[in-house]
Structure 1
Amino acid sequence: MRLSIDLWPGYYPAVIADQKGWFKEEGLDLVLNMPGNTDKMLARFSAGTIDAIAVAFGDAILVSSQMSDLSVILVTDESAGGDAVLAMDSQVMNNLKGKRIGTNLGGFGELLIRKLLQHHNMSAQDVNLVNVDASKVPHLLSSGKLDLGHTWNPYVGLAKEQGAQVVFSSADTPGLIPDIIAISGEFRRTHPEAVKIFLKVWFKAQQWWLDHFIEGNLLIAESTGQRPENISLDGIRLMSREDNLASFHDSTTEHGLPQVLKSYNDFYIRSGVIRVPAPNDVLVSEFLE
C-alpha cells in the first residue's frame, strides 16, 4: 500500500505505526511518503502512482471530480482551529478591500477564506485571491508578498515565529474541515484485507500516541524532520472508530460527512466543477464496520 500524507498532526498515527513496525507485523507492506506539496500529491494519486492519500476532505472531493473511482475510508480528525488564516499585522482585518489573500484555490482552503470574507460582509471579488501551497505561506507573509494566508501546522507555527498572527481559523467554522484517508477504487477491490489491516493498525497507533504523547512526538519528529516541541494536537480532534461510524452515517448535522460533502459540492458547483460526487460514490464505511 503506497500512502502519501501531508504534514498534519491528524495523519501522524501512520508515521508512528510505520516507525514501530506495526504494519509489517500485521503483514502489510506500507510505503509511506510525505512529499510536502499537496498539489503534487493529489496529481500522483489521480495518475495512479500511489494507492492512498491523507488529505482534507475538500481536496479529496475535488480529486473525485477528475477521478471517479475513489473511496473515503477513514476520517482521521476534524480541524477545530488547526487550519488558520494569518497576517503579519492584525489591523489588516479592519479593511480587507483589495488585500492579497493566499490559499490553495479550488480546495477547502478557498472555502475557509470565503467563510472569513462572509464574516466581514465581503466576497471574493472584493479581494485578490492568490493560489499558493500551504508550505509557502510563512515566507510569503514575512516577505510582504501576501497580506493574509491560509495554512496549517507545522506551517502555522513557523509563521508565528516570524511574527504572524492568527486572524481566523477552522475553530470559527465547526465541522467544515474533516481530514480523511482516501484510496483508489482499484486498491479497495483488489486488496480489501490490506485496508482492514491498515485501519486496525491506525487506531492502535492513534491510541498509543494519546497514551504516550511525548514518546510519540519523538518518533514523529525523527521521521518528519520537525522539532518534538512543535508537534501538537491543539486545534485538532482525532477521530476514533466510533466517531468515524457516527460521522459516516450522520446525514442530518453539519458534522456528518454527507452534510459536509453537500457543502463542498455546492461550493464546487458554483466554482464551475462539472462533476460532483454523491455520498454513495465516495463514502465507504464497510471497512470500519
Structure 2
Amino acid sequence: MKTTRSVCAPVTSASRLFTLRRRLKRAAGALALATGFFAAHAQSASAAPLRIGYSDWPGWVAWQVAIDKGWFKEAGLDVKFEWFDYAASMDAYAANKLDAVLVTNGDALTMGANGAKNVMALITDYSNGNDMIVAKPPARRIQDLKGKKIGVEFGVVDHLLLLDALQRAGMKESDVTLVNAKTNETPQVLGSSDVSAIAAWQPNAGEALRQVPGARPVFTSADEPGLIYDVLAVNPVSLAAHRDDYEKLTKVWYRVVRYIDDPATQGDAVKIMAARVGLTPQQYLPLLKGTKLLTLPEAQQAYAKGDGFRSLYGSSHAADAFNVKYQVYKTSQDVNAYIEPSLTGALK
C-alpha cells in the first residue's frame, strides 16, 4: 500500500505511512473539535450527502463505475465522492472534511494513532502484484541480494513488503544494506547507483523495469496476498448516524465488483476507470490485474479473525508492529477496535 496510491504518474506528496505523521497530528486538534460538533448536529446533518475521499488506486478508482452508472441514485443513496491525491485525502479526513476515506489498513492505523479515529468498515482489495522488489542482473531471486544494497523508502508499505520477502527467503534484514530512497525516485536510483534492487509500487516499479536492462521482479505483493489491504475507513460518528446509508453503499460496492469481474462487462468498467485517471483501457488493464478486488465471500473470509495475512486482523497486526518498530507512531494500536465487519457480514 506509496507516495500516493497512484498508478499513473510519479508524484512527490507525502508517503503512505511515515511522512504523514506531522500533518495528521496538526489536523488532530481540528478533528477533535469538529467531531464533537458533528456528533451534536448529527440529526440536522442527516440530509447532507456522505462525503468520501478517493484517490488513484484501482481498488478505489473502481467506485467510478458506480458514479458514472448512477448506481448510488438507484440505491437511494446521497453520496459525494471527492477526488484527491492520496496524502491530501487523509489530511481532509483528519480535518473532518470527509465522512470516510479510502486508505491502506496500515494507514488507517496511522490516522487513528494521530487522532483521526476510524473503523475499517469495508475491504475493497489487496495489492496483488503492483508492489514489487525489482532487481538488476544477475540477481534472479531474493537470495541473490544477500550482501547487496537495496533502495527503499523507510517506513512505507514497500519497506514492509521487503522485510516480508527477506523473511520468506530465510534471510534477515541485516543480510542486506537498506538505502533510504524516495519511492518516486527509485527508478533512477536503480539505474544510476550501486544498489542491486529497489522496492516500489506502480508506476515506479514498472518504470524501473523499463529503464534498467534485464531488471526483473524477484518478489511482488502477489507472493504474499493480504499483506497490503485497502479499506474504506469511516468516522465512527458518521457510521452510527448513517448506518443505513453505509449498508446501501456496501451493496453498491459489490455490484461494482461483479461488474468489473464479469468478462461481459469488464471492458466497459476498465474504460470508465481508465478515463478517470487519463489512461487508455489497454494501459489500465494490467494495473487492474495487479489489484485483487474482493468478492463478498472473500471479504467475509478476510474479516474473520486470524493471525495470517488472509485475515484483515492478522495483516493489520503486522502493519501495527511495523509502524511501531519504525516509529511511524509510538504506541501500539488496538487493532480489534479499528475493524468493523458487520456491514459486510450482513450481506448474502
TM-score by length of 2: 0.71
Q: CA RMSD in A?
A: 2.9
What's the counterpart of residue 110 of structure 2?
A: 62
Please state how far the C-alpha of 1:274 moved relative to its aligned partner.
Answer: 2.6
What's the counterpart of residue 35 of structure 2?
A: none
Matched, 1:185 2:236: yes
Structure 1 residues 178 and 128 mapped into 2: Cα distance closer, same or farther (>3 Å)? same
- Counterpart secondary structure, 1:287: helix
2:270 pairs, out of 205, 217, 220, with 217
Matched, 1:2 2:51: yes
What's the counterpart of residue 248 of structure 2?
A: 197
Cα offsets for 1:66-116 (capped at 9, x unmatched): 13521101111222323212245453964454625123x334322112223
Tell me which amino acid in the other structure corresponds to 1:224: V
Q: 1:79–1:177: 8 Å Cα contact kept in structure 2?
A: yes
Matched, 1:21 2:76: no
Matched, 1:282 2:332: no
113-122 or 171-180, which deviates more? 113-122
Q: 1:85–1:167: 8 Å Cα contact kept in structure 2?
A: yes
Q: 2:190–2:197: 8 Å Cα contact kept in structure 1?
A: yes
Q: 2:302–2:311: 8 Å Cα contact kept in structure 1?
A: yes
213-222 or 49-58, which deviates more? 49-58
Structure 1 residues 122 and 168 mapped into 2: Cα distance closer, same or farther (>3 Å)? same
Please state how far the C-alpha of 1:276 moved relative to its aligned partner.
Answer: 2.8
What's the counterpart of residue 32 of structure 1?
A: 82
Matched, 1:109 2:158: yes
CA–CA distance in 1 between the matches of 2:54 and 2:188? 22
Alignment of 1:210-289 (within 5 A): 210-211=261-262, 212-231=265-284, 232=286, 233-251=288-306, 253-272=308-327, 273-288=329-344, 289=346
Cα offsets for 1:194-236 (capped at 9, x unmatched): 3122211111111111121111111111111122112234343
CA–CA distance in 2 between the matches of 1:166 and 1:190? 46
CA–CA distance in 1 between the matches of 2:197 and 2:236? 38
Matched, 1:49 2:97: yes
CA–CA distance in 2 between the matches of 1:90 and 1:49? 50
CA–CA distance in 1 between the matches of 2:89 and 2:235? 14
What's the counterpart of residue 12 of structure 1?
A: 61
- Counterpart secondary structure, 1:249: coil
CA–CA distance in 1 between the matches of 2:245 and 2:203? 30
What's the counterpart of residue 133 of structure 2?
A: 85
Cα offsets for 1:123-160 (capped at 9, x unmatched): 26942342534x55445545659754333344444443
Please state how far the C-alpha of 1:173 moved relative to its aligned partner.
Answer: 2.4
- Counterpart secondary structure, 1:176: coil
Structure 1 residues 199 and 129 mapped into 2: Cα distance closer, same or farther (>3 Å)? farther
CA–CA distance in 2 between the matches of 1:46 and 1:140? 33
1:123 pairs, out of 173, 176, 187, with 173
Count of residues paired in the alignment: 285
Cα offsets for 1:11-38 (capped at 9, x unmatched): 2321211122222333323223141xx3
Q: 1:102–1:146: 8 Å Cα contact kept in structure 2?
A: no
Cα offsets for 1:229-254 (capped at 9, x unmatched): 12234343221222222221233544
CA–CA distance in 2 between the matches of 1:279 and 1:187? 20
CA–CA distance in 1 between the matches of 2:138 and 2:91? 35
TM-score by length of 1: 0.84
Tell me which amino acid in the other structure corresponds to 2:229: P
Identity rate, percent: 23
CA–CA distance in 1 between the matches of 2:204 and 2:52? 22
Structure 1 residues 228 and 155 mapped into 2: Cα distance closer, same or farther (>3 Å)? farther
CA–CA distance in 1 between the matches of 2:174 and 2:101? 29
